[in-house]
Amino acid sequence: MDNIVLLVVLPLLAAFLMPVVARSSEVVARTLGLSVLFISIGIILNVWSQSGQIDSQAVSIVIGGFLPPLGINFYVDQISLFFALAVPVMVLLFWPWHRATSIREYSLMMLLTASASGLILSGDLFNIYVFYELLGIASYSLVAIQGRVSAVAASFRYLLMGSVGSVMMLLGIAIIYTQTGTLNLAHLSLLAPEKLNNMLGLASFALILTGMGVKAELFPVNSWVPEVYGSVSSNLAALMAGLLSKLAVIVIVRLLILLFPQPEALQLMGMLGILGVLTGELVAWRSRDFVRMLSFSSIGQLGLIFLAFSIPGEMGMMAGIAIALHHMLVKPALFMLATGWRGAVENLSGVARRSPFVVLLFIVLILSLLGIPPLPGFWAKYLLMVGLSSQDGFIYTLGMIIVPLAMVIEMAYLFKIVMIMYRKDNDEPAVNNSNIVDDSNIVDDSNIKVVQKHSKWGLAIAASVAAMLIAIVLQLQPASDKLLSLANQLSDRNYYISTVFPQIHTVRMQSIK
Amino acid sequence: MRNIAGLLFAGGLAFLLLVLASYLPYGQTPMFLGDAILAHAPGEVHTANIVAAVLLAYRGIDTLGELSILFTAAAGVGLILGHRSLRSDSAGVNGAVNSEQHSGFITTRAVDLIMPLLMVVGFYIIFYGHVTPGGGFQGGVILATAFFLPVLVRPGTRIEHGVITLLEGLAGSGFILVGLWAMFYDQPFLQPIFDSFLGTGPLGSLWSAGSLPLLYLAVGLKVGSELAGLLVTVSEVPELSETNISDADDINRK
């Protein structure tokens, strides 16, 4: 169980060693990174199989031998373990295999892995900030070295926005620390009803929400999204849209549950979610570029997730997790399909005749994204609507109107693409047969008119995602049971506190308080 | 959309800061963690410098994270500045710097004299980090200065990046290996080790605080090599030539 800390430490070790090893042998250095990812997956699977207890019981892992709240702990429950597994798996899937770049890019990928795992596992507010910052800097660098000039510009804007965000988050954490004098999440949660249930608490939540929201594509701080996803490779875009945004969301939700009991915090998040849905879908509808469309649709989906999590009670929690997991599967697959379809939507006319199988995959994926029964996306949205209808309050009523509206807009632009794909065209666009885009040259995105071929790897990922969606439909009952237990564990404050501070300790804490 | 979002963002931020300014009770902060650590640290960690106890023992994994942030930033800057689109035709520009064009006799000699002294000060601050105020971060910065001064007075000197890469890699892994060493004894990661041959001296002596001085040495070397590497990378960036300026324009237009 203590091995869990290796999920963060081993990738860091690999990242530090890779440039050194690469001086003597580049092959060994690359193998080092990959083998660390495999070891990480092995560790998690081992924990999962060895102790079936994780299903019922969470564990707090002490680092450095100092009991919380003095020391730092990692908190391992079902959802953090699940995301900790998703990190190495998805990094492995979207590893920059065939790009001939410096070994430092692989090193940055390892740092990204380590920080993502740390972010989801950490049980300490400041430790979360450190990993969030590391995640940010690793992703700015990865975006900037994508080889296009537009990527450097996009990365710079992303850097500005991200830095302002992390300063705001740090300010929020500082306020919490001045109010409570502690940083451990469980200890804070113990003190929160008394010390953070006021305007200052709300203000610090707003600061942390906007800070973390930069990665989670939250409404006012998401203008980097289309630019960055449009200028990086599909692999990195898939990783960022699929995994990193969800990690930020889950951490925000965890902080919300543990530290901020006030209903205004939920309403604030719900409102920003609704604005995100509206702006994301409307701009996606108007955009002419396929990748940009996907990026804006991603903003819309993240807005839905925030709206779902803002519903109090287990229904909202279930809906939020369901939409998050669903988007985590579908969006990377769509980005993998987008490898071959970069550029304006009009260029896609007639692709259905040339590659019918790929277009079929695309249709399955977008049907699920839209929420057409019986695909999993429908059940996720169904949960959201049921959750919304069970609440009264302005935000939730507004949500009841906005969500179907967003679905209609989404349907309009996604089906428009399908129509274009099935259109007969007379002039065939030139097909570029090389799989590898020459990234070292400065490529102007708007000038790419050629339709490139899909990589086999990307198609395999997209196909397996589609297969998984259908498998979930067949296994709906077990899936929803699992979802319910995830939601229950995530929303249980007292359970979190008692896991980190076993009984005797709790008594002592209260006496100190 | 971007303008509206920006306006909302700025308005919200201003409102937040107003709320904070009016509600924040200045000067009455609960010191739960601070008091507890002050009470426990000398007994548990045996460091005279409590800051070292917090940095390396109680919040050791935060320090590891911060080292990684520094490493990431340096790697990112190295990759971006070393990129071909910025480097194109740079060989000529860099070679054109006259190696004779240095900063004059007095400055050069003074730097040659100061450099070893700076090294000593840097290592002193690192080694005594657990006893006196100071430590790996501060000492590391001084080491980086000592390394960079000779480069500064002799522009155009070619620096071999190999040593820096080696040092930053090994120092970072050193920190982690000390942490893993504790796990080898079935203890949590980064637990301070007080062994027979590690520092077991009385509180306040150089040979005290167990494995913490080792960690501080790793931090110092890491910070020093990282900053030195960054400074050298920046100093090697070619001056803007015609092609580079057009690239910059290209960026601006987007």
**Close Cβ partners of A456 (under 8 Å, ≥ 6 residues apart):** none
Mean pLDDT (whole number) for B108-127 = 92
Cβ-defined contact of A130 to B40 (cutoff 8 Å): no
Residues 133-172 in B contacting A (C-alpha not used; CB under 8 Å): 162, 165-166, 168-170, 172
Cβ pair A206:B59 closer than 8 A: no
Residues A352-377: b if buried by 16+ CB within 10 A, e if exposed: beebeebbebbbbbbbbbbbeeebbb
Residues in chain A: 513
Please tell me which of A244-253, B30-39, B89-98 the model is most confident about, judged by mean pLDDT.
A244-253
- Residues from chain A that touch B19, judged by Cβ atoms under 8 A, are 199-200, 202-203
Phi and psi angles of residue A62, each rounded to the nearest 5 degrees, phi first: -85, 135
In contact, B195 and B40? CB cutoff 8 Å:
no
Q: How many CB atoms lie within 10 A of CB B48?
A: 19
Residue to substitute from B72, B77, B80, interface A, most A β-carbons within 10 A: B72
Q: Sorting pLDDT into bands at 50, 70 and 90, what band is B90?
A: very low
Pick the residue of A1, A7, A66 with the most B CBs within 10 A to test the interface with B by mutation: A66
CB-closest option in A16, A147, A279 to B71 = A16
More confident residue, A15 or B29: A15
**Other C-beta atoms lying within 10 Å of the C-beta of residue A23:** 14
pLDDT for the residue A442: 40
Distance CA B202, CA B213 (A): 14
Our CA-based measurement puts residue B182 at a distance from the nearest CA of chain A, in whole angstroms, of 9
pLDDT the model gives residue A499: 86
Among the partner-chain residues A16, A183, A206, the one whose CB lies closest to the CB of B173 is: A16
Q: CA-based angle B42:B61:B36, to the nearest 5?
A: 35
Percent of chain B with pLDDT over 90: 24
Structure tokens at A134: 């590391």
Residue in B23, B59, B80 closest to A144 by CB: B80
- The confidence band for B141, taking pLDDT boundaries of 50, 70 and 90, is very high
**Do A153 and B251 form a contact (C-beta atoms < 8 A)?**
yes
Closest CA to B240 of B84, B77, B93, B81: B93
pLDDT tens per residue, range B161-211:
788 889 889 999 999 998 888 888 888 888 888 776 676 777 777 777 788
Residue whose entry in the numeric block shows the structure tokens 């070393």: B82
Give the distance from residue A416's alpha carbon to the nearest chain B alpha carbon, in angstroms.
Answer: 23
The residue with greater pLDDT, A288 or B238, is A288
- Please indicate whether, in this complex, the C-beta atoms of B191 and A17 are within 8 angstroms of each other: no
ipTM confidence score: 0.87
Residues of A with Cβ-Cβ distance to B212 under 8 angstroms: none
Q: Least CB-CB distance to B58: which of A2, A71, A178? A: A71
Q: Which residue intervals of A185-232 are DSSP H helices?
A: 185-195, 199-213, 225-231
3-class DSSP state of A239: helix
Contacts for A472 with CB less than 8 Å, ≥ 6 apart:
A376, A479
Q: Which residues of A touch B183 (CB under 8 A)?
A: 2, 5
Rounded to 5 degrees, what are φ and ψ at B89? 60, 20
Cβ contacts (< 8 Å) between B190 and chain A: which residues? 63-65
Distance from CA of A196 to the nearest CA of B (A): 12
Give the Cα separation of A45 and A85 in Å (integer).
8
Three-class SS of residue A406?
helix
Nearest CA in chain A to B16: A203
Nearest to A233 by CA among A368, A435, A420, A37: A435
Angle, helices A476-491/A78-93, rounded to nearest 10 degrees = 120
Helix (H) or strand (E) holding A63: strand A59-63
8 Å CB contact of B71 and A198: no
Q: How many CB pairs under 8 A join A and B?
A: 208
Is A180–B60 a contact, with Cβ atoms under 8 angstroms apart?
no
Q: Calculate how close chain B gets to A335, using CA atoms only, in Å.
A: 23
At A150 the pLDDT is 83
Give CA–CA dist B101/B230, Å, rounded.
23
Look at residue B92 and tell me whether its pLDDT is greater than 60.
no
Which pLDDT value is given to residue A456? 82
Q: How far is CA A58 from CA A88, A228, A501, A502, A510, in A?
A: 21, 37, 12, 12, 22
Alpha-carbon span A210 to A276, nearest angstrom: 13
The pLDDT of residue B29 is above 80: no
Q: Distances from the Cα of A202 to the Cαs of A196, A392, B150, in angstroms?
A: 8, 22, 52
Distances (CA, A) of A235 to A339, A393, B201, B205: 9, 41, 54, 53
Minimum-distance CB partner of B62 among A12, A72, A210? A72
3-state secondary structure A311-373: CCCHHHHHHHHHHHHHHHHHHHHHHHHHHHHCCEHHHHCCHHHHCHHHHHHHHHHHHHHHCCC
Residue B150 has pLDDT above 50, yes or no: yes
Smallest Cβ–Cβ distance between A66 and the set B58, B173, B180 belongs to B58
Among B8, B76, B188, select the one facing A137 at the smallest CB separation: B76
**Of B187, B172, B92, which Cα lies nearest the Cα of B140?**
B172
H-type alpha helices, chain B: 2-23, 32-45, 50-52, 60-81, 84-87, 90-96, 105-127, 136-153, 161-184, 212-235, 242-253
Which letter does DSSP use for residue A260 in this model?
A: -
For tokens 């049971």, name the residue: A481
> Which contacts qualify for A50-54: CB closer than 8 Å, 24 or more apart?
A51/A1, A54/A78, A54/A81
Residue with tokens 């081992």: A46
Q: Report the share of chain B in percent with pLDDT over 70.
A: 83
Distance from CA of A456 to the nearest CA of B (A): 29
Number of Cβ within a 10 Å radius of residue A7 = 29
Q: Name the B residues in 70-89 with CB < 8 Å from any A CB.
A: 71-73, 75-76, 78-80, 82-85
Kindly list the distances between the CA atom of residue A39 and the CA atoms of A31, A44, A77, A259, B114, in Å, as whole numbers in the listed order.
Answer: 12, 9, 20, 34, 48
Given phi > 0 = left and psi -120 to 50 = alpha, else beta, which region is A147? left
Determine whether the interchain pair B9/A220 forms a contact, defined as Cβ–Cβ distance below 8 Å: yes
What are the extents of the domains in chain B?
Answer: 59-83+95-243
Task: Give yes or no for a cis peptide into A374 (omega within 30° of 0).
Answer: yes
**DSSP H helix total and E strand total for chain A:** 22, 4
SS3 assignment, position A59: strand
Are B85 and A72 inside 8 Å of each other by CB?
Answer: no
Interface of B with A in 16-45 (CB under 8 A): 16, 19-20, 23-24, 29-34, 36-37, 40, 44
Check B188 against A64: CB less than 8 A apart. Answer: yes
Which residues of chain B make contact with A206, given a CB cutoff of 8 A?
A: 12, 16
> CB distance from B188 to chain A under 8 Å?
yes
Q: Which residue of B has its CA nearest to A23?
A: B162
Residue B126 CA to residue B118 CA, distance in Å, equals 12
- Are the beta carbons of A61 and B85 separated by less than 8 Å? no
Q: Give me the average pLDDT of each 10-residue run along chain A (513 residues).
A: 87 92 86 92 87 69 85 90 92 79 85 95 94 94 83 90 93 91 90 87 91 90 87 88 93 93 90 92 88 90 94 89 93 87 78 83 90 87 91 89 92 88 64 42 42 75 89 88 87 87 60 48
CA atoms within 13 Å, Cβ hemisphere of A487: 24
- Which segments of A389-482 are extended strands (E)? 431-432, 451-452
Cα separation, A50 vs A127, in Å, equals 28
- Where is pLDDT greater, at A433 or B53? B53
| Residue of chain B with shortest Cα separation from A12 | B68
| Contact in structure between A223 and B2 (CB atoms under 8 Å) | yes
Cβ contacts of A325 within 8 Å, gap of 6 or more: A246
Distance from CA of A257 to the nearest CA of B (A): 21
- What residues form DSSP beta bridges with A62? A73
Q: Please state, in angstroms and rounded to a whole number, the distance separating the CA atoms of residues A397 and A400.
A: 5
pLDDT, residue B117, reads: 95
**B-chain residues near A172 (CB < 8 A):** none
> What does the pLDDT read at residue B199?
67
- Residue of B9, B57, B75 lying closest to A66 (CB–CB): B57
Q: What is the pLDDT of residues B219-229, one digit of tens each?
A: 999 999 999 98
With contacts defined as CB-CB under 8 Å, which chain A residues touch B84?
440
CA distance A365 to A467: 10
Asked whether the beta carbons of residue B69 and residue A66 sit closer than 8 angstroms, the reply is: no
Q: How far is B219 from chain A (nearest CA, A)?
A: 13
